[in-house]
Chain A
Amino acid sequence: DSGVTQTPKHLITATGQRVTLRCSPRSGDLSVYWYQQSLDQGLQFLIHYYNGEERAKGNILERFSAQQFPDLHSELNLSSLELGDSALYFCASSVTSNWYQETQYFGPGTRLLVL
């Protein structure tokens, strides 16, 4: 158990809908990262937040957005969902924003299925 929690574990929804995935980082960690793992692609970095501020953006679609709240939990919002958005979404956390120096701890993931 990494100490990172994600809810829900599973989510089934329909195309065109909007969902929110939630992540609570490990106690003391200020950085939150979101990743997408789909069948045809490897683990893709989406976005990084540090202490409430967006720090880096990866391959995140415009239909997706994220935020980190004052209590440091983060939410990833996925809208206008398409079949191709079906994937495993991971959240990870680390202590500082210096991801090049430190370990990221991954949560258990949220499996999203868009029908």
Chain B
Amino acid sequence: ILNVEQSPQSLHVQEGDSTNFTCSFPSSNFYALHWYRWETAKSPEALFVMTLNGDEKKKGRISATLNTKEGYSYLYIKGSQPEDSATYLCAPSSASKIIFGSGTRLSIRP
């Protein structure tokens, strides 16, 4: 796993709107895909770990899907709230390493 891309780099969303962003990764040597939420001045907080193609996970208003064959994952946030403002990191892992993307910085406008 060499190249992890997250898009967009940043996103400004109106409170109440739904949004989604993408994590792309090489599908070879893939074991799992981790999503983390990282608020300013805090430490990364795990959202999901997904391993199987077609996996879908949900935690409150946040959900994620995984396509291991084509090497991408989507993170969805429904009805954005100010507390959703954070950087969202994805990290595919193999047996020997984990590589973090540079993240999508989400800002929610009240």
A interface secondary structure, majority: loop
Q: Mark A44-55, 1 if CB is under 8 A from B, else 0.
A: 110000000000
Q: Contact string, B73-110, partner A, CB cutoff 8 A, digits 1/0? A: 00000000000000001010111111111110000000
Q: Which of B43, B46, B99 contacts A45 (CB 8 A)?
A: B99
When A100-B93, A100-B95, A102-B49 are in contact, do A43 and B32 touch as well, CB less than 8 Å? no
Number of A-B contacts (CB under 8 A): 50
| A42–B101 touching, CB < 8 Å | yes
B7 at the interface (CB under 8 A from A): no
Apart from A2-B45, A45-B98, A107-B43, 9 more pairs, CB < 8 Å: A2-B43, A33-B98, A42-B103, A58-B98, A100-B31, A100-B51, A100-B94, A101-B51, A109-B43
